[in-house]
Amino acid sequence: MHYNFTLKNAKTLRVHYTREGKGAPLVLLHGWGQNLSMMRFISDHFKSRFEVVNIDLPGFGESEEPPVSWDIQAYAQFLRQLLELFHLSNPSIVAHSFGARIALYYASMYPVSKLCLTGAAGIKKPRNIAYYGKVYLYKFLKHFKKQVSMGSSDFQNASDTMRGVLVKSVEEDLRVLLKQISCETLLVWGENDEATPLWMGEVMEKEMMNATLIVLEHDDHFAYFHQPQRFIAILEYFL
């Protein structure tokens, strides 16, 4: 389904989503560079007992890009407005990676029944000397108008607007929000996650009021997707 969603600043944004089932609301938020198809197996399983809203986040899948480079708070406010239009409140949220950033911010501001975060981004990685060396080299070469590319493949493949979103999101440390989130939270992590290393999940478990960490052995950032049956079983128990 598509929805021509009018933002509070009067801009219209075309949003692609699925909304299936009846029951308590369950919202699914995918990661960076992904789309709602990554979460479809979750929707298919739980739509018999929940009203499941699975969203192509603005700038991904079939949803339009935001009118400007949103920060995470703007994405959380977008989600709030969308759920209000659907007359849904106090949802459970399942979110991966970039989607987990939005879920964390949302849960710090609005009521959430339960929160399941997998491979959650949101804690800023410490910078090392190599990072600053790359930054200074990039600026030096740009000063002399040399062609140079820098950044992850996510950054290189993004539009100017979405590059701005990515920069804002990775520069924002959501660790300060963790103690504000009181709902029951399940953290599911791949043992060998390199994008959001396991230590980030351990920090979240320690600093959130009501969080439990489950580690999927010998798996990576997409452990939830690689082990769908196991992930569904974990979610069944949690929800």
Which has more pLDDT, 143 or 235?
235
Q: What is the DSSP letter of 191?
A: T
* β-strands 12-20, 2-6 pairing: antiparallel
Compute the half-sphere exposure of residue 50: CA atoms within 13 Å on the CB side of its CA.
23
pLDDT in tens, 24-39: 999 999 999 999 999 9
Q: Is residue 142 part of a domain?
A: no
Q: Is residue 171 part of a domain?
A: yes
Cα angle 135, 136, 141 (rounded to 5 degrees) comes to 100
| 106, pLDDT greater than 60 | yes
pLDDT in tens, 177-225: 999 999 999 999 999 999 999 999 999 999 999 999 999 999 999 999 9
Burial of 40 (0-12, 13-18, 19+ CB in 10 A): middle
Q: How far apart are CA 239 and CA 116, in angstroms?
A: 9
Whole-model pTM: value is 0.88
| 117, pLDDT greater than 80 | yes
Q: Is residue 139 part of a domain?
A: no
pLDDT in tens, 138-163: 344 445 554 444 455 666 677 899 99
Alpha-helix runs per DSSP H in 38-159: 40-46, 72-85, 98-109, 129-143, 153-157
pLDDT in tens, 45-61: 999 999 999 999 999 99
Q: Note down the domain range covering 167.
A: 2-125+162-238
| 127, pLDDT greater than 90 | no
CB atoms within 10 A of CB 77: 19
Please give the pLDDT value at position 131. Answer: 36
Q: Is residue 145 part of a domain?
A: no
Q: Is residue 137 part of a domain?
A: no
Q: Is residue 98 part of a domain?
A: yes
Please give the pLDDT value at position 154. Answer: 62
Would you list the DSSP string of 139-162?
A: HHHHHTT-----S-HHHHHS-HHH
Q: Three-state DSSP class for 234?
A: helix
CB 24 within 8 A of CB 113: yes
CATH of the domain at 224: 3.40.50.1820
Give the chain's domain count. 1
